[in-house]
A and B are shown apart, each in its own frame.
Chain A
Amino acid sequence: MLRDTLKTLLSAYGPSGNEHAVAETVKSLIAAHVDNMHVDALGNLIVEKYGTEETGKRIMFSAHMDHIGFVVTDIDEKGFLRVHNVGGVSPRISSARHVVFENGVEGVLYCQPVKGEETAMKHLFIDIGAESKEEAGQYVLPGDMAVYAPDCFELGEHRVAAPAMDDRCCCALLCELLMYLDEPRNTVIGVFSTQEEVGLRGAGVAAYSVNPDIGVALDVTAWGDTPETKLPAISLGKGAAVKFMDSSMIASASVRDALLKAAAEAGVPAQREVLPFGGQDGSAIQRARAGVPAGCISIPCRYVHSPAEVIDMRDMEGALKILLQFVENV
């Protein structure tokens, strides 16, 4: 079930550059359903499901495994850890948060603003309970990364909140897609990509080596349906969104229109997304080699890049139907 797959994936540790635990989780979920799996030099998990037709296309889907985090840069004399952001972290919403390291060490991330200074990453520190540099050093070293501690809970009948929803919800979607696909005509390549949050780094090299005919990124998008928000014109629960543009990409018309058509044929609603900021793996796929027509299916997600990112499972289920139809149509 989509919801179970999602919950399994949400608990894996995986800040940018350290996604192997997520990759292992994905592997265990889909190993029986794909023809080929490998991990490349940047940690991308690339899986293939062969198409039945010689003349079939190679369709690449990309969902990123990494999420935002905090890398330790220094341990002070009293055992507090100083950090630098990994990906787009707002220092303002990072205060008094429960964080966890790969080895299970837990900590409290706190932001101590300094009078007269604008709140910045340098005001953040992690308290792991250590009382000295030496003690802290037994558990954590510079270069280790912390993430918001997993904390998944349900809101009402349809909605789920958790850190790392960006982009594990789409990892779950891609896993389910690969499980559901039964002898597709076209070859489907699932890329569980790395380092998206620091600049679409994994998907770029994966797109080069996969060399697809068509690419579709699966990612979350922002919302415009809570108090004081205006754009994008996207609401939770009104269907997955087909991307027209964001700061990183103008979606290729052929892919965008095919996704809209697939939604119509599958009989599920799809929103049209014009995002005035942001970026996703589709951009890295589009510019690969001699150019790849690329688009993006987005799951509307409130409070992105916070410890409580909220999605609506109906949008997820709709997205799965769109993708199944899309693979059939190409």
Chain B
Amino acid sequence: MQTEQFLREVTALPGLSGGEEAVARYIAGAFEPYCDEVRIDALNSVIARIRGRGPKVMLCAHLDEIGMMVAKIEDDGALRMRGIGGVDPRILPGMRVTVHGKERVLGVIGAKAPHLLSPSEREKNYAWDELYIDLGMSAERARETVRVGDCVSLEGGFTELMNGRFATKTADDRSCAAILLRTAELLQRMDTTADLYFVLSSQEEVSGYGAMTAGFGVDPDFCVVLDVTHAKTPGAPELEAFEIDSPTIARGPFIHPYLRQKLEDIAKEQRVAYQCEVVPRDTYTDMDGLETVRGGVPGVLLSLPVRYMHTSVETFDLSALNECARLLAAYCASVSGAWRDELWI
């Protein structure tokens, strides 16, 4: 499938953490043509395998997304909500959202009008309790349509900007799902010995349980985690933001030095431009939970820089995405049994 088409479709699907069923089914279908087996596990993670005799390698990107849940329905029909994952309430006022009630309905996030706020109130950002979802319905109909516990997804939209850049909801981390799919496609024409597991993990935005439990089930020798990282924008801290046009390879105590060196060597060999991202401690990706599963899963972290993370206009560069896939495919093809023995020499 064309990467752009896949992205357009997959970012349009709701898949809030813990409620990833629909997007999991779609992604499982997309991997089907390239894999020997595809399944969806107990926590909604997709596990697609290209069989091999060599070391087991788990390639992991997450399929869930941030969003909200209805926490209370006020007497007047306004919905109070809370974030699933790290939602910044500052992006919400004036946003159109989809409320997944008995039927899918459009909601608008409202708050007290600025005209009615005191000057000191206007200095502060809205807190969760000051925001609500307006369904444009009577209170009675709102209660018939929506219940506490229903999910709310952020505004969608897939916009092509200049220079092959795209702005969409859920580039975090569906862009990396696209990288994995493209990798699987590229591998069809390459020789590999590794036993490859493409894992699209659930719940990364809330707990990381998807990758941990899928990792326990797969029991891999190594892992490659793919996630998004911050692309530079004005005011972003210098050490934690990167150029948008090429992937980053992480270095730090959570990253295996030998496997990382291999990845960098292969990038150079394949002439894939990359940036170095130093992570002094937790990576805040699936790596953190996956690496300590069972007896340990040493691995590397490959990231695609994205602007405006955790908004509905996450922006990335399609050529950087394709380069990630090219690098990853070459890496998978290079994996050999010798790596297992050389890990700690």
Q: Are B72 and A291 in contact (CB under 8 A)?
A: no
A272 to chain B, nearest CB (A): 4
The B interface, classified by DSSP as helix, strand, loop or mixed, is: mixed
Q: What's the least CB distance linking A284 to chain B, in Å?
A: 10
Measured as residues with beta carbon below 8 angstroms from the partner, the interface class of chain B is 20 to 34
Report whether B42 and A272 are in contact in the complex, using a CB–CB cutoff of 8 Å. no
* Docked-complex contact B214 and A274, CB < 8 angstroms: no
Instruction: Please pick, from A224, A233, A256, A291, the residue contacting B43 in the complex, using a CB distance under 8 A.
Output: A291
Contacting residues of chain B (62-90) with chain A, CB-CB under 8 angstroms: 69-73, 80, 82, 84
Chain B residue at smallest Cβ distance from A253 = B19
Stretch at the interface among B154-162, B172-180, B203-211, B279-287: B203-211
Q: Does B95 contact A (CB under 8 A)?
A: no
- CB atoms of A293 and B43 under 8 A apart: yes
Nearest residue, chain A, Cβ from B149? A244
Residue-wise, chain B 190-233 has the 8 Å CB interface mask toward A (1 for contact) of 00000000000001001101101110110000000000000000
- Please tell me if the beta carbons of A274 and B71 are within 8 angstroms of each other in the complex: yes
Which one, A244, A248, A271, contacts B69 given CB within 8 A?
Answer: A244
A232 to B128, CA, bound (A): 13
The residues in A between 211 and 253 inclusive whose CB is less than 8 angstroms from any CB of B are 224, 230-233, 244-245, 248-253
Tally of contact residues, A, Cβ under 8 A:
28
Asked whether A233 and B72 contact (CB < 8 A) given A245-B84, A287-B213, A291-B209, the answer is yes
> By the criterion CB–CB under 8 Å, are A274 and B41 in contact?
no
Q: Which chain A residue shows the least CB distance to B19?
A: A253
Query: Would A250 and B213 count as touching, CB distance under 8 A?
Result: no
Q: Mark B28-40, 1 if CB is under 8 A from A, else 0.
A: 0000000000000
Nearest-Cβ distance from residue B283 to partner chain A, whole angstroms? 18
Rounded to whole Å, the gap between the CB of B193 and the closest CB of chain A is 25
Q: Which of B21, B84, B149 has the most CB of A within 10 A?
A: B149
Residue of A nearest to B129 (CB): A230
Q: Which of A282-322 contact B (CB under 8 A)?
A: 283, 286-293
Query: Is the C-beta of A276 less than 8 angstroms from some C-beta in chain B?
Result: yes
Q: Which residue of A lies closest to B205 (CB)?
A: A250
CA distance A292 to B42 in the complex (A): 6
Max count, chain A CB within 10 A of own CB: residue among B70, B72, B73: B72
In the complex the two chains form, what is the Cα distance from A252 to B207 in whole Å?
Answer: 13
Contact with A along B13-26 (1 / 0, CB 8 A): 00001110100000
CA distance A289 to B69 in the complex (A): 27
Set of chain B residues within 8 Å of A256, measured between Cβ atoms: 149
Cβ–Cβ < 8 Å partners of B212 in chain A: 287
Contacts of A293 in B (CB 8 A): 42-43
Task: Point out residues on A near B: beta carbons under 8 Å.
Answer: 224, 230-233, 244-245, 248-253, 256, 271-274, 276, 283, 286-293
| 8 A-B pairs closest in CB distance | A250-B18, A291-B213, A290-B217, A244-B149, A233-B72, A291-B43, A272-B148, A274-B71
17 contacts between A and B (CB under 8 A): A230-B129, A233-B80, A233-B148, A245-B18, A245-B149, A250-B19, A250-B84, A250-B207, A252-B43, A253-B19, A253-B21, A274-B70, A274-B82, A286-B43, A289-B216, A291-B209, A291-B214
Please list the residues of chain B having a beta carbon within 8 angstroms of any beta carbon in chain A.
Answer: 17-19, 21, 41-43, 45, 69-73, 80, 82, 84, 128-129, 147-149, 203, 206-207, 209-210, 212-214, 216-217
